[in-house]
C-alpha cells in the first residue's frame, strides 16, 4: 500500500509527471518494470486525489 501526505498541488504535479514520463533506459525489461510501477503510482495518486483521507494515513498495525 502506498500512503501519501501530499497537498493537492503536489499530488497533481506528481500525477502529471507520472503521465508524461516515458522510460528510455535502453533495457526493455527495466523500462517495462518502471512503466508498471508508474501505473501503480498513478492508480494510487488518482485514488488519493478522489479521497485523500482514505490513503493519507496507513492502517494501524501496518
Highest mean pLDDT among 2-6, 20-24, 57-61: 20-24
Write the DSSP string, 17-54: HHHH----SS-HHHHHHHHHHHHHHHHHHHHHHH-HHH
Q: Encode pLDDT of 6-56 as tens digits.
A: 888 999 999 999 999 988 899 999 999 999 999 999 998 998 888 856 555
Amino acid at each position: 500500500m502506498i500512503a501519501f501526505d501530499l497537498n493537492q498541488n503536489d499530488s497533481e504535479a506528481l500525477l502529471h509527471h507520472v503521465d508524461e514520463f516515458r522510460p528510455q533506459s535502453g533495457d526493455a525489461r527495466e523500462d517495462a518494470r518502471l512503466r508498471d510501477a508508474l501505473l501503480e503510482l498513478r492508480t494510487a495518486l488518482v485514488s488519493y486525489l478522489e479521497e485523500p483521507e482514505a490513503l493519507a494515513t496507513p492502517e494501524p498495525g501496518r
